[in-house]
């Protein structure tokens, strides 16, 4: 457990890349600051200089990332011992002798029995069982189920779902296929698939490489998959031939028919070929296409987002069709961007959750957070494509006329800043009427006669420093406007009776939701059904959007009016896979759809800044103080 917590401390520091206090780390892990100090000592003992200490707390050094990824195998750690036992159980039909294995691992039989209990805990949903007969223990189940167990262990070894062959070898054993062979293997596989006209999902194909490594290891040990007997499609045959050829050339393993077809199916569920019309590729299922089109239209109406487009529906339908196949195979695809997508683009992620819930209802596809994150990437890409010019800030260029100087400057501004601002006017007088210029920004080559944050001094020939300065001011103006809107909305939606300081977390997330929701039920804002749906939404995907804030809410805007109940815990509490200190139960009404986007995304933005969170939590001892501090943070 200590080693696992050391790794969690290291992961937080690597992600933050800044000074983090012991108290903040302690809240994140649910331990004391004293424990954090001992964990840091342990980290630096195994990787000298990985964590720096100072008056501001702790910070990851340059060596930290390598230390986090290396995590050299240590037979003394519970996780490595667990993997060693699982490898032994999977290694042969006869299983293991408990006493002999305990001796080999230098632990007592009682410790090994405890480890076997942990193995049983891993078997949920794998179709495997652990059988005991006297001193022998063995796993019973199909080869496919045993491979799924190996896949789960491998993912547990990998940081945030990122593919790591060294971690995979720790799962399979050091005698498994070495990582050097997989670099050329993957490169050639991607090249050959691209040659067939497929677009390759890099995250997905890395997951396929993991399955190929597991298959190669099992086949080399005489544990090949049986031929399923079902006829293969032309697409499966083509890809199976490529995999068979590359496995023999790079891994020196001859795959059987069952493994070839299995791996070809996995590849097909992780690559997309938009507009494919030839017979070598699986056609798009009309049912999937229609369901996706309907769900996208519902999401666009529910959240007022511009995502209804034939090309987007086609891309998402192809992804959902692959997702449906992955669900049947229980071959889920990990997404290393899940955490950052949820924290940085909560509104986009919420649209994806809505789409995922409707797909589950219509197509019976169970969806995990990683799979929802892939849908969020599709949604975000479409919103980026359809973003309107009215999101740009307007600008006036003030550049006294001298030949074509002002024209050259405008051209440079358009080229360098065209995605951030729109130049609507060029003033060439040396004495313009400064007060009458009403654009968001004024880019001027001369000193303005009046002061203001929107005036940016630039050179007649635009320099990189000018570009950076304009972008900084533009970003500040955008954020100020967003937060100003947020302040106005929040003052409408908060209520002193819906504020709870000192949350009781003994009943878990559901109890917290019902405690906060009860304050809104008492006001007639929501009913019990809304709370039930909020709990269902939480089970679908955690609403802990940052390391400090959870925003539980229901799918569907059925509140009589928009309101937010706030709960603050004295110390960080478990929520989903993380820990939070502020819970904001949000109830949105049908008439406030636009407010949903403003409040939801910007509220999360405020609580993504650690210093702001600590200030609000520390000083927000009652409702009045909380609101004052929140508004103060928003106003900067």
pLDDT digits 0-9 by tens, 27-54: 777 788 888 888 888 888 877 778 888 8
Residue 534: predicted pLDDT: 95
**In the structure encoding, which two tokens stand for residue 177, read together?**
């296929």
pLDDT band at 359 (very low <50, low <70, confident <90, very high): very high
- Residue 219 pLDDT greater than 70, yes or no: yes
Of 179-183, 192-196, 311-315, give the lowest mean pLDDT range.
179-183
Contacts of 130 (CB under 8 A, 6+ apart): 89, 116, 119, 120, 123, 137, 138, 139, 140
Same topology for domains 172-272 and 286-385, yes or no? yes
Burial class (CB in 10 A: 0-12, 13-18, 19+), 389: exposed
- Residue 57 pLDDT greater than 90, yes or no: no
**Mean pLDDT (the chain, rounded):** 83
Burial class (CB in 10 A: 0-12, 13-18, 19+), 624: exposed
Please, are residues 548 and 345 in contact by the beta-carbon 8 Å criterion?
no
- Residue 501 pLDDT greater than 80, yes or no: yes
Residue 470: predicted pLDDT: 93
Q: CA angle, corner 46, sides to 41 and 50, nearest 5?
A: 70
Kindly report the CATH number that applies to the domain delimited by 389-486. Answer: 3.40.50.2300
Q: What is the mean pLDDT of residues 168-195?
A: 72
Residue 279: predicted pLDDT: 46
> What is the DSSP secondary structure assignment for residue 531, as one 8-state letter?
H
Is 0.75 topped by the overall pTM? no
Q: Which residue has the higher pLDDT, 493 or 199?
A: 493
Residue 391: predicted pLDDT: 63
Q: Does 286-385 carry CATH code 3.40.1410.10?
A: no
Residue 276: predicted pLDDT: 47
What would the pLDDT profile of 94-150 be if each residue is shown by its tens digit?
Answer: 888 888 888 888 888 888 888 888 888 878 777 888 888 888 998 888 888 888 888
Beta strands in 232-388 (DSSP E): 271-272
Please give the backbone phi and psi of residue 232, each rounded to the nearest 5 degrees, phi first: -90, 150
Would you call 105 helix, strand, or coil by DSSP? coil
What would the pLDDT profile of 456-475 be if each residue is shown by its tens digit?
Answer: 999 999 999 999 999 999 98
Would you call 430 helix, strand, or coil by DSSP? coil
Kindly report the CATH number that applies to the domain delimited by 494-635. Answer: 3.40.930.10
What would the pLDDT profile of 152-176 be if each residue is shown by its tens digit?
Answer: 777 666 654 455 556 666 666 555 6
Residue 468: predicted pLDDT: 93
Q: Which residue has the higher pLDDT, 389 or 383?
A: 383
Q: Which residue has the higher pLDDT, 302 or 281?
A: 302
Question: How many angstroms separate the CA atoms of 43 and 64, rounded?
Answer: 9
Instruction: Tell the residue number behind the tokens 């239209």, with chain if given.
Output: 297
Where do runs of H (alpha helix) occur along 18-164? 22-29, 33-46, 64-70, 78-91, 98-104, 109-122, 143-157
Residue 170: predicted pLDDT: 61
Would you call 138 helix, strand, or coil by DSSP? strand
pLDDT band at 194 (very low <50, low <70, confident <90, very high): confident
- Residue 245 pLDDT greater than 50, yes or no: yes
Count CB-CB contacts under 10 A for residue 522. 10
Count CB-CB contacts under 10 A for residue 363. 18
Residue 414 host element (H or E): helix 405-417
- Residue ranges of the domains in the chain? 2-70, 172-272, 286-385, 389-486, 494-635
Q: Which residue has the higher pLDDT, 161 or 493?
A: 493
Question: How many angstroms separate the CA atoms of 81 and 10, rounded?
Answer: 22
Please, are residues 527 and 560 in contact by the beta-carbon 8 Å criterion?
no
Q: Does 172-272 carry CATH code 1.10.1790?
A: yes
What would the pLDDT profile of 573-623 be if each residue is shown by its tens digit?
Answer: 899 888 899 999 999 888 887 777 777 877 888 888 777 888 888 888 888
Using DSSP, how many helices (H) and how many strands (E) does the chain show?
Answer: 25, 15
Q: What is the mean pLDDT of residues 237-249?
A: 90
The CA–CA distances, whole Å, from 434 to 402, 428, 449, 452, 455 equal: 20, 12, 7, 11, 10
pLDDT band at 210 (very low <50, low <70, confident <90, very high): confident
Please, are residues 157 and 168 in contact by the beta-carbon 8 Å criterion?
yes
Question: How many angstroms separate the CA atoms of 177 and 173, rounded?
Answer: 9
Residue 543: predicted pLDDT: 93
Domain 2-70 adopts which CATH fold?
Arc Repressor Mutant, subunit A (1.10.10)
Residue 280: predicted pLDDT: 45
Would you call 636 helix, strand, or coil by DSSP? coil
Q: Which of 523, 519, 524, 517 is nearest to 498 (CA)?
A: 519
% of the chain beyond a pLDDT of 90: 23
Q: Which of 470, 420, 421 is nearest to 445 (CA)?
A: 470
Residue 589 host element (H or E): none
Q: Which of 68, 210, 92, 91 is nearest to 153 (CA)?
A: 210
DSSP readout, 437-470?
--SSEEEESS--SS--TTEEE--SS--HHHHHHH
pLDDT band at 72 (very low <50, low <70, confident <90, very high): very low
- Residue 1 pLDDT greater than 60, yes or no: no
Q: CA angle, corner 288, sides to 286 and 289, nearest 5?
A: 65
**In the structure encoding, which two tokens stand for residue 478, read together?**
């955008």
Calculated CA dihedral for residues 130, 133, 135, 138, nearest 10 degrees = -30
């Amino acid at each position: 457990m200590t080693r696992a917590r050391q790794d969690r401390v290291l992961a937080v520091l690597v992600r933050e890349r800044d000074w983090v206090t012991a108290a903040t780390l302690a809240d994140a892990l649910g331990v004391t600051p004293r424990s954090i100090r001992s964990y840091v000592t342990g980290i630096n003992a195994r990787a000298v200089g990985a964590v720096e200490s100072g008056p501001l707390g702790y910070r990851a050094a340059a060596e930290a990332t390598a230390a986090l990824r290396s995590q050299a195998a240590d037979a003394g750690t519970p996780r490595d011992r667990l993997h060693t036992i699982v490898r032994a159980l999977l290694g042969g039909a006869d299983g293991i002798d408990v006493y002999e294995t305990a001796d080999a691992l230098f632990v007592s039989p009682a410790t090994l029995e405890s480890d076997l209990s942990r193995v049983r805990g891993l078997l949920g949903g794998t179709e495997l069982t652990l059988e005991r007969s006297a001193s022998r223990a063995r796993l019973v189940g199909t080869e496919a189920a045993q491979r799924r167990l190996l896949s789960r262990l491998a993912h547990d070894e990998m940081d945030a779902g990122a593919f790591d062959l060294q971690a995979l070898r720790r799962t399979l054993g050091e005698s498994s296929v070495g990582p050097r062979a997989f670099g050329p293997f993957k490169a050639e596989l991607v090249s050959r698939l691209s040659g067939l006209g497929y677009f390759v999902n890099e995250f997905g194909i890395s997951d396929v490489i993991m399955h190929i490594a597991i298959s190669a290891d099992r086949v080399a040990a005489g544990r090949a998959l049986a031929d399923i007997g079902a006829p293969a499609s032309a697409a499966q045959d083509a890809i199976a031939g490529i995999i068979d050829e590359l496995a023999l050339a790079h891994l020196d393993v001859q795959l059987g028919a069952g493994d070839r077809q299995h791996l070809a199916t996995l590849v097909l569920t992780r690559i997309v070929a938009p507009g494919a019309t030839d017979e070598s590729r699986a056609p798009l299922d009309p049912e999937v296409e229609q369901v996706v089109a309907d769900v996208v239209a519902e999401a666009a109406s529910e959240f007022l987002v511009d995502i209804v487009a034939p090309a987007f529906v086609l891309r998402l339908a192809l992804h959902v069709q692959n997702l449906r196949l992955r669900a049947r195979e229980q071959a889920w695809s990990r997404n290393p961007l899940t955490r950052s997508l949820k924290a940085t683009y909560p509104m986009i992620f919420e649209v994806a959750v809505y789409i995922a819930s409707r797909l589950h209802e219509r197509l019976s596809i169970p969806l995990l957070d990683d799979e929802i994150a892939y849908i969020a990437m599709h949604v975000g890409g479409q919103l980026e494509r359809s973003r309107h010019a009215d999101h740009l800030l307007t600008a006036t260029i003030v550049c006294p006329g001298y030949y074509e100087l002002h024209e050259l400057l405008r051209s440079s501004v358009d080229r360098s800043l065209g995605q951030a601002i729109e130049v609507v006017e060029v003033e060439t007088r040396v004495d313009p009427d400064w007060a009458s210029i009403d654009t968001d920004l004024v880019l001027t080559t001369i000193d303005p006669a009046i002061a203001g944050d929107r005036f940016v001094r630039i050179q007649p020939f635009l320099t990189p420093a000018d570009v950076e300065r304009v972008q900084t001011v533009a970003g500040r103006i955008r954020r100020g406007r967003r937060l100003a809107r947020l302040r106005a909305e929040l003052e409408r939606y908060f209520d002193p009776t819906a504020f709870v300081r000192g949350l009781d977390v003994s009943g878990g997330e559901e109890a917290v939701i019902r405690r906060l929701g009860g304050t809104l039920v008492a006001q007639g804002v929501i009913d019990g059904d809304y709370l039930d749906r909020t709990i269902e939404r939480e089970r679908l995907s955690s609403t802990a959007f940052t390391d400090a804030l959870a925003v539980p809410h229901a799918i569907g805007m059925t509140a009589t009016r928009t309101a937010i109940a706030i709960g603050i815990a004295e110390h960080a509490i478990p929520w989903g896979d993380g820990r939070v200190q502020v819970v904001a139960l949000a109830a949105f009404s049908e008439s406030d759809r636009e407010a949903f986007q403003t409040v939801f995304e910007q509220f999360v933005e405020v609580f993504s800044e650690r210093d702001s969170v600590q200030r609000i939590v520390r000083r927000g001892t009652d409702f009045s103080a909380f609101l004052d501090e929140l508004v103060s943070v928003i106003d900067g």
